[in-house]
Amino acid sequence: MRVAGIDCGTNSIRLLIADVPGERGPLDDVVRLMDVVRLGQGVDRTGQFDPVALERTLTKVGEYADLCREHGVESIRFAATSATRDASNRDEFLSGVRERLGVPVQVLTGDQEAGTSFDGAASVMGVDGPTPVIVVDLGGGSTEVVLGELGEGAVADHSMNVGCVRMHERHMASDPATAEEIAAARADVNAALDAAEQDVDFSSARGLVGLAGTVTTLTARALGLEQYDASRIHGTELTVDQVVEVCEWFIHSSKAERDALGYMHPGRSDVMAAGALVWEEVVKRVAARMEESGHPLGAVVTSEHDILDGMALWAAKEPQPPR
């Protein structure tokens, strides 16, 4: 059947229209789009959606609805995540999406977001690799950390209220970020990781996979790309030292330096330093725990497949026709 998954996060909204032969894929992409709408702009500070951000997001939802109709989509699942969970005026957004798209919004809990991200990433991973693995979905408002067995699914997860937009607005608004801002952001992320370790045993992992735009953009730099190339980025394996090196460049870079990169999406540039800091701290923490357990982390893997793929698989498993 032909399905669509839509993922609306704090920073971006994404659409996947795909053909799927059964409940669990593999997915055959028809349309895959990403637009930065910054729905969660200011939500960490105000607790509600900004009217301008809300309007530009709903405009994009209308465009996605047109594409779904054009391509004959039979089932749609729409996920809203961190920013929508936090916004006091979220009902205005939920009703606006339903009016334009014809389906209700799934406002995912942190646990649901983590599990769906793991399903999406695992859908393109072989079952004969090292397992269990930790999959990390680094978003704008939150970062999901999930431990799972390949071929079986998630076994433990934790949603941290740290992400590239939230850390940028909370700590790293200077250009470039000051030493004091960087230190405050690192402390915030590490406190969140302390809490995550109460739910997820990092030391039991045998692999680490990173998802979403911050991680894929960092990988593009590590590969020395001139333009964004998802086919080259997907499946890339980097050492911990390589990850730290590229993260440090972004953390200390200026917006002008980031804007000059051919693979940098203009709507992501301002929050990339904060996103790089989050990813660096996550990778270092997981690597340290794996080292302590006698299973050093050999490679950090980047995946282009994530919660968006998970939503499309959900649309196939539990059909929800647009009305």
Order the strands of the 153-160 sheet from edge to edge: 153-160, 143-149, 133-138, 208-211, 300-303, 237-238
Q: State the Cα angle at 140 between 138 and 145, rounded to 5°.
A: 30
Which amino acid, one-letter code, is at 227?
A: Q
Q: What is the DSSP code string of 224-256?
A: T-SS--HHHHTT-EE-HHHHHHHHHHHHH--HH
Q: What pLDDT does residue 126 have?
A: 64
Give the separation between CA 47 and CA 45, rounded to whole angstroms. Answer: 6
pLDDT attached to residue 128: 67
Structure tokens at 285: 């923490």
For 286-312, what is the mean pLDDT? 93
d(CA 164, CA 230) in angstroms, rounded, equals 21
| Residue pair 222/236 in contact by the 8 Å Cβ criterion | yes
Digit-coded pLDDT (tens) for 26-73: 788 999 999 989 898 888 888 899 999 999 999 999 999 999 999 999
The token pair that represents 255 in the structure block: 């917006």
Give the predicted TM-score (pTM) of the model. 0.87
Give which of 16, 250, 241 is closest to 138, Cα–Cα: 250
The pLDDT > 90 percentage for the chain reads 71
pLDDT digits over 113-170, tens only? 888 888 888 877 766 677 899 999 999 888 999 999 887 888 999 999 999 999 999 9
Six-digit token string for 294: 């006698």
Residue 22's pLDDT is 59
**Residue 318: DSSP 8-state:** S
- The full set of domains in the chain, from first to last, is 2-110+308-317 (3.30.420.40), 126-303 (3.30.420.150)
Decide: 71 and 55 in contact? Cβ < 8 Å: no
State pLDDT tens for residues 308-317: 888 998 999 9
Beta bridge partners of 76: 4
104-125 pLDDT, tens digit per residue, is: 999 888 788 888 888 888 877 7
Question: Which residue, 245, 251, 112, is CA-closest to 177?
Answer: 251
